[in-house]
Amino acid sequence: MTNDQAAMTNVVCSVLTAAGRGAIAVVRVGGAGSDRIVDDCFTGASGRPLSAAPLNAIRFGVWRNSGEEVVACRRASDDIELHCHGGAAAVRAIVQSLVQRGATESNDQSTPGSCAQQAWRQLPRALTQRTAGILLDQANGALDRALAEIDALAKHDVAAARAQREQLLKFAPLGEHLTKPWQVVLAGPPNAGKSSLANALLGYGRSIVFNEPGTTREVVTTTTAIDGWPVAISDTAGLRETNDPLEAAGVEQTVDKLAGADLIVHVSPSDEPTPHFVAPDSKPCLRVISKIDLRRPPVVDGVLATSVVTGEGIAELLEAISRALVPEAPPVGAAVMFTPTRS
């Protein structure tokens, strides 16, 4: 190592993408001297060094020691993102040449034991781009800063500290679902159009639809994203008393699934209105009148009306689900308490 390289030992490189197969991998290079190390390894297509590029400009080029094509971006001075082919060899080649020039490889870029460190670990498990963005804010220190601020305030202004804490807790329910989907369960009487509605929400024919009550037996769960939030939608067997043991087993599964739901979507057909549904444990419940192309029901406050034939009300139902799960989305960069999951 030359003297010049020894002076660069503050540079840390981290592979941000999860280990395993992936089309693209991202390596972050941070710390004083990052610009110089990367300039030493990366030749931009324009011939100009990356350090001359404006912040957030995307530069295409080649990693000299491997000949791999790389996309580079300076996120801040001495904070660079390198996007390369996702194969392990391409990533290793980049990390090795950075380490040879004095960088330290790290699995995270935060203080040990901090929320930021935990967020880095959770980041590969984020289920959508939107939840990844929220975790990235915490990885960049939003939650650590907010907690430190509350600590500092508590020493001289307890009321202000309490108010800050309340503000922080506001997004805690969302923080439980950055790496774990919300459970949304469609329920209602047989033949109400639950499977049709599940398919309409998912955008493809996941469940069998048939004009006979008792078609769906086992719970059919599919994970999707609604408004960027990860959601597991469960289509269930119609709720009714039955002597058929197979159908009764399906109804039992429905009842179990309802007990674990974060949100229930109760579906009742416009041509055969069902008695008022009482959600178990007062769970949040959206009420939907389906098949409104057959019979148009009177408008009732808080009740959604849908038709999978005309598409009416489907966008409104998606919006209502999103709003019920996340009444208020955190602004970019906000502190969000999150619940780590283990895979």
- Residues engaged in binding ligand GTP (CB under 6 A): 190-196, 209-211, 213-216, 238, 290-291, 293-294, 307-309
By beta-carbon proximity to ligand GTP, the closer residue of 158 and 294 is 294
Q: CA–CA distance from 297 to each of 27, 96, 189, 271 (Å)?
A: 56, 67, 18, 9
For the CB of residue 76, give the shortest distance to Mg ion in the complex, in Å. 52
For the CB of residue 220, give the shortest distance to ligand GTP in the complex, in Å. 9
Q: How far apart are the first and last CA of the chain?
A: 40
For the CB of residue 224, give the shortest distance to ligand GTP in the complex, in Å. 17
Q: CA–CA distance from 9 to each of 31, 75, 95, 290 (Å)?
A: 9, 20, 14, 64
- 189 membership: H or E segment, kind and range: none
By beta-carbon proximity to ligand GTP, the closer residue of 13 and 186 is 186
User: Measuring CA to CA, which residue among 234, 232, 253, 224 is closest to residue 194?
Assistant: 234
For the CB of residue 309, give the shortest distance to ligand GTP in the complex, in Å. 4
Residue 250, binding choice from ligand GTP, Mg ion, none, Cβ under 5 to 8 Å by partner class: none
For the CB of residue 145, give the shortest distance to ligand GTP in the complex, in Å. 48
For the CB of residue 304, give the shortest distance to ligand GTP in the complex, in Å. 12
Those residues whose C-beta lies under 8 Å from the C-beta of residue 340, and which sit 6 or more positions away, are 118, 121, 122, 179
CA distance 135 to 336: 8
Contact 29, 80 (CB under 8 A): yes
Residue 199 makes contact with Mg ion by CB under 5 A: no
By beta-carbon proximity to Mg ion, the closer residue of 102 and 269 is 269
Residue 60, binding choice from ligand GTP, Mg ion, none, Cβ under 5 to 8 Å by partner class: none
> How far out from the chain centre does Cα 271 lie?
38
CA distance 81 to 102: 18
By beta-carbon proximity to Mg ion, the closer residue of 172 and 208 is 208
For the CB of residue 321, give the shortest distance to ligand GTP in the complex, in Å. 17
Q: Within positions 47 to 76, which residues make up the interface with Mg ion, using CB under 5 A? A: none
By beta-carbon proximity to ligand GTP, the closer residue of 14 and 254 is 254
Contact 101, 8 (CB under 8 A): yes
User: Measuring CA to CA, which residue among 340, 337, 339 is closest to residue 142?
Assistant: 337
Tell me the three state secondary structure of residue 242: coil
Residue 270, binding choice from Mg ion, ligand GTP, none, Cβ under 5 to 8 Å by partner class: none
Q: What does DSSP say about strands 182-187 and 229-235: parallel, antiparallel, or unpaired?
A: parallel
By beta-carbon proximity to Mg ion, the closer residue of 117 and 215 is 215
By beta-carbon proximity to ligand GTP, the closer residue of 17 and 221 is 221
Residue 141, binding choice from Mg ion, ligand GTP, none, Cβ under 5 to 8 Å by partner class: none
Residue 127, binding choice from Mg ion, ligand GTP, none, Cβ under 5 to 8 Å by partner class: none
By beta-carbon proximity to Mg ion, the closer residue of 230 and 238 is 238
The residue behind tokens 């969302």 is 174
Residue 234 makes contact with Mg ion by CB under 5 A: no
CA distance 225 to 202: 9
Residue 195 makes contact with Mg ion by CB under 5 A: yes
Residue 216 makes contact with Mg ion by CB under 5 A: yes
Q: Report the interface residues with Mg ion, using CB under 5 A.
A: 195, 215-216
